[in-house]
Structure 1
């Protein structure tokens, strides 16, 4: 277990302890603050990451990349408006893959499996397992949010059985990996320990507080470190400042757009729908950018 993982565990349980002194309303407020700060920030440099990925392709100027990226986001928002159930399903699936890819990023160092459908499926199952652990411990709230967004009323057992299915498939995939190479035994034990940590956090914390702990500490911050390394060669404080300066305008624009959503929404339910459509809209292109970035660079964990 490296320093980053140990640090993440310590900060996670400190945040968990801290929530006992913070009211549910303040937890909601603080959670959104962190999601909108570090969470949105970690996707604000997608244009520059994509520019470096396409650096040898003269057909893509910075302006063209920016226009295509914005059009992609606008299309996602429109699709979410007209097909909320479908896009919500894809949003959960893409988020599951994205979380699993980040969590198991070092597996992509294995060149023989870097483009493997098996590896991508395994990463997706891991990410979905994290999400559905959160959903299971807060199924009533999750069902309420889904109902507000898509007008679909889900039965709590659907979340429970989905979690059981994901656990079963993840176990099968893990056994296959162990049969291929026993050197992954230590890795699997470590990841199972992390899942135990996530389960404790999701069980004890509220929905938004638990998600914030995972999304900021375990996903966004490591992702920022990886992006800084990709853009500038390695991670350092000075390189992080460069990353922050280039991301700042796009981060502020994102917050401004979300602020407009809030201003023009007449009620909380409408804002919830707009907020999740906004998250979905920026998630889809971000997942594709990071997917390609990881295949251009090697990381260790």
Structure 2
């Protein structure tokens, strides 16, 4: 993945350069196009991953896995309708761990398992609130639409500073104690600087789209292809897309239906975000299980 990170850095700054050529409306269209294609696609093969990560003795059928998956998505949507504040908080916490996990920070350092969970979580929290910090007014308006309450403050700056302090403290501890991961930690610190420049100089949706697609979705797709098919090739990528097409299409149709029904109402932003969050919930746990399965395979080799 080292070669990919070089591509990701160049692609990120190239997108920042493109930023100056597009009007705000064009940026929004392109950003959502990226999120709706590669962004949603990276979760489109979760059912295949569930099958691959299940024990060989498991006799759970594809249909049952599909029903369980749909149930979790619908439960997430219901959660946002009934308890939107708690649902939003849970979504941020789960997404934070997922983002840190995808950066390759859920590693076996030979330390407490609690630290292994906290470290990627704090990393993800720092990334999210770094984005929120540079676009706090927009974030507060979106949160207000979702929870249907006006909040005086989201304490974005405070959470950013606290998470940054914990992240730097843990990183310094790992850097001092474990020499084998020093290069990894140096790289991640550099990436955080890249993210800060990216978020500061772009709009909220453009910055999020660049991070979500280039730094999260594409690496996740590559990891999944390698896990499912054994190697990253264009042929396997085409197979990956074909296998996930129906799930991807269902997600796009669901979002399209929401837009058709509620495009002229303030509730659309809340419903749209809630839908994306709901399909994220099961995906996060599927990917975590995949990484744990992959780690156990590597240890047994």
Q: Name which of structure 1's ranges 230-239 and 53-62 shifts more when overlaid on structure 2.
A: 53-62
Distance 1:86 1:41 in 2: 27
Partner of 1:284: 281
2:251 to 244, 251, 254: 254
**Partner secondary structure for residue 293 of structure 2:** coil
Question: What CA distance in whole angstroms lies between the structure 2 residues aligned with 1:251 and 1:55?
Answer: 26
Q: Does 2:75 correspond to 1:75?
A: yes
Between the aligned partners of 1:155 and 1:200, the Cα distance in structure 2 is 28
Q: Who is 2:158 aligned against?
A: 161
CA shift, 1:10, in A, is 0.4
Relative to the length of structure 2, the TM-score reads 0.94
Partners of 1:61 and 1:131 lie apart in 2 by: 37
In structure 2, distance between residues paired with 1:241 and 1:43: 15
Distance change in 2, residues 1:274/1:57 (3 Å): farther
- CA change 1:86–1:152 in 2 (3 A) is same
Give 1:240's aligned residue.
Answer: 237
1:99 and 2:96 aligned: no
Q: Which residue of 2 aligns with 1:117?
A: 114
* 1:271 to partner: Cα distance: 1.2
> Are 1:192 and 2:178 matched, yes or no?
no
1:272 maps to which residue? 269
Instruction: Note the residue ranges of structure 1 that are not aligned, 5 or more in a row.
Output: none
How many residues in Structure 1 have an aligned counterpart in Structure 2?
297
CA deviation profile, 1:172-225 (whole Å, cap 9, x unmatched)? 211221232133322222111100000000000000000000000000000000
Following superposition, the deviation at residue 55 of structure 1 comes to 4.8
Task: Report the CA distance between 1:59 and its aligned residue.
Answer: 3.3
Alignment match, 1:5: 5
Are positions 1:179 and 2:176 aligned together? Answer: yes
Question: What CA distance in whole angstroms lies between the structure 2 residues aligned with 1:275 and 1:245?
Answer: 25
Aligned residue in 2 for 1:129: 126
User: For the residues of structure 1 that align with 2:145 and 2:109, how far apart are their CA atoms?
Assistant: 43
Where do 5+ consecutive residues of structure 2 fail to align?
none
Rounded Cα–Cα distance in structure 2 between residues aligned with 1:99 and 1:296: 18
Deviations 1:222-281 (A, max 9, x none): 000000011111111111111010001110011011111111215352111111111111
SS of corresponding position for 2:95? helix
Residue in 1 that maps onto 2:218: 221
Shift of residue 157, structure 1, vs aligned partner: 6.8
- What is the alpha-carbon distance in structure 2 between the residues aligned to residue 93 and residue 112 of structure 1? 25
CA contact (8 A) 1:139 1:156 kept: no
Corresponding residue for 2:260?
263
CA RMSD, 1 decimal = 1.8
Aligned to 1:15: 15
Does the CA contact (< 8 Å) of 1:140 and 1:156 recur in 2?
no
